[in-house]
Amino acid sequence: MRMKAIGIKRQQGAVRQRPWLVAVALAVAVALWLASGQFGDGGSDAQAAVDTAAAAEPALPPLVQVRQSQSREIARAVEVRGYTEPWSAVQLAAETEGRVVEVRAEPGARVEAGQVLLRIDPRAREQVLAQARAQLAQRQAEAQAAQRLHRQGHLSDTQLAQAQAQLAAAESDAKRAKLDYEASFVKSPIDGRLEARPVEVGDYLKVGTVAARVVQLGRLKLVADITEQQRPQVHTGQSVSLRTAAGEELPGEVHFVASTADDQTRTYRLEVAIDNAMGRAAGESVRGDIVVDTVSAHRLPIGLIQFDDEGELGLLTVSDEDMVTRHEVEIVRTEAAEAWFSGLPPSAAVITRGQGFVSAGQRVRTTPAAD
């Protein structure tokens, strides 16, 4: 035991005397450990084999939802929007000067063509007319006497011509006096409704002062604008299906299409005639469809639209071989959140979900879209 203890002490003393031996031993141990990681038990090779096997396994095609859609024949229409106006509206201005002495119709009243709406003081005109008529009667008698004397040879041609000229002047004065007298009665030129009468008894009117406004409501007209592309498809006589803001349907017919565009908007004025036997008020907001032809189309959610780099509209479908196909489409008509699209086959499996993650020519898996 004593000898063993003496040996251990000698070894400890040797280590304390040679510390570089410890450093060498540690360096050798680290080198052996690194070598075992590169050439050792093959753990890295096993992981590489797993990665290679995973890469070799084929990935599943993406899954999309599809909706089987069948086309239908629908009417292609030009949609127009606008407001109704009276078929005609007439501003009645005073044609003679004077004070209003009588009103015969109140605003809102139904009036007929030729009906007197108000009267301007006619007394001075009555006197002028009476004088003109008396002068005319005198000139007529003088002209007749001149003709008799001329036939008898007692009157020269010049004197006869002078009598005839005086008669013509008297006739002109009488007509003018009659027109001035009749102008004191402001009459409606059309059947309609007295929409406004901004004058009252006692007001003094000058020539050109607006005295009344009459509108014709037996027919209305929808006034709208159509684009340059729509203009060739619209013609007078085409039927128009109209709907009011309240959802009421009205029949109409294209009455007028402008042949020149507006300088500012570059659109064309359109007028649609509407029967108004029910006496509807003008000014309603109305939407209409002018049927131009029929087309085969699919009714689908409008949110399925995709745009290509050129801004063209498109929809994606899946073929029987599970391949994605892109179709350029056109919106024929819109209905709330859906639209009618032309450009698809008569029967098509339209991608309704997942279309943003696939492209034309790609193979996909499909599942039916939820109703």
Task: Report d(CA 221, CA 274) in Å as an integer.
Answer: 6
Residues 6+ apart with CB under 8 A from 147: 160
Work out the angle between the directed axes of helices 157-182 and 123-152 (0-180°, nearest 10): 160
Three-state DSSP class for 191? coil
**What is the pLDDT tens value at each position of the chain, 371 positions in all?**
433 433 434 444 444 444 434 443 444 444 444 444 444 444 455 455 555 544 555 689 999 999 999 999 998 888 899 999 999 999 999 998 999 999 999 999 999 999 999 999 988 888 889 999 999 999 999 999 999 998 988 889 999 899 999 999 999 999 999 988 989 999 999 999 999 999 999 999 999 999 999 999 889 999 999 999 999 999 999 999 999 988 888 899 999 999 999 999 999 999 999 998 888 888 899 999 998 888 999 999 999 999 888 889 999 999 999 999 999 999 988 888 899 999 999 999 999 999 989 999 999 999 998 86
From the CA atom positions of the chain, what is the Rg in Å?
50
CATH superfamily membership of 78-85+216-294: Efflux pump adaptor protein, beta barrel domain (2.40.30.170)
* CATH number given to 64-73+295-368: 2.40.420.20
DSSP string, 209-238: -EEEEEEEEEEEEEEEEE-TTTGGG--TT-
Contact 237, 254 (CB under 8 A): yes
The number of C-alpha atoms within 13 Å of 15 and in the hemisphere containing its C-beta is 9
Task: Pinpoint the residues of the chain covered by CATH 2.40.420.20.
Answer: 64-73+295-368
Cα angle 180, 184, 187; round to 5: 115
DSSP 76-91: EEEEEEEEEEEEEEEE
d(CA 13, CA 36) in angstroms, rounded, equals 33
Q: Give span(s): CATH 2.40.30.170, the chain.
A: 78-85+216-294
With CA atoms as reference, report the closest residue to 110 among 215, 202, 205, 208: 215
CA distance 12 to 9: 5
Can you say how many angstroms the Cα of residue 274 is from the centroid of all Cα atoms in its chain? 19
State the amino acid at position 87 in one-letter form: W
